[in-house]
């Protein structure tokens, strides 16, 4: 593509590993966010509260919002977003940990 043919859309990939030092505080904040959501139906609220109480990864997912990450970036508008969280074994000193390990496969696909 030339400069004139470049897409206006950009895929932003972010991968983070977050250390949870206070699971109760995280869970409480997520429950607070769920309680504040006036548009969430009661059945969905009950399911969300249960998930957040059982899994800190779910609690984190309720607090991280892609719109918050790019909502104030000038000249942009969030078109679509999806995200997930999961517990992971992580040792930052391990030579097996390579945050770019999937990049080679993705580059080959391009």
Q: Which residue has better confidence, 86 or 96? A: 86
The pair of structure tokens assigned to 19 is 């250390």
- CA–CA gap between residue 36 and residue 73 (Å, rounded): 25
Closest CA to 53 of 31, 84, 22: 31
Question: Which of 2-6, 53-57, 106-110 comes out lowest in average pLDDT?
Answer: 106-110
The tens digit of pLDDT for each residue in 32-56 reads 999 999 999 999 999 999 999 999 9
Give me the pLDDT at residue 95, please.
Answer: 78
Residue 24 near residue 52, CB atoms below 8 Å: no
Average pLDDT, the chain: 85
């Amino acid at each position: 593509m030339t400069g004139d043919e470049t897409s206006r859309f950009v895929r932003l990939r972010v991968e983070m590993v977050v250390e949870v030092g206070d699971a109760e505080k995280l869970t409480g904040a997520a429950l607070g966010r769920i309680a504040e959501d006036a548009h969430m139906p009661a059945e969905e609220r009950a399911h969300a509260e249960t998930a957040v109480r059982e899994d800190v990864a779910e609690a984190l997912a309720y607090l991280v919002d892609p719109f918050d990450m790019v909502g104030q970036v000038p000249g942009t508008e969030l078109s679509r977003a999806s995200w997930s969280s999961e517990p992971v074994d992580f040792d930052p000193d391990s030579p097996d940990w390579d945050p770019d390990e999937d990049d080679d496969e993705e580059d080959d696909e391009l």
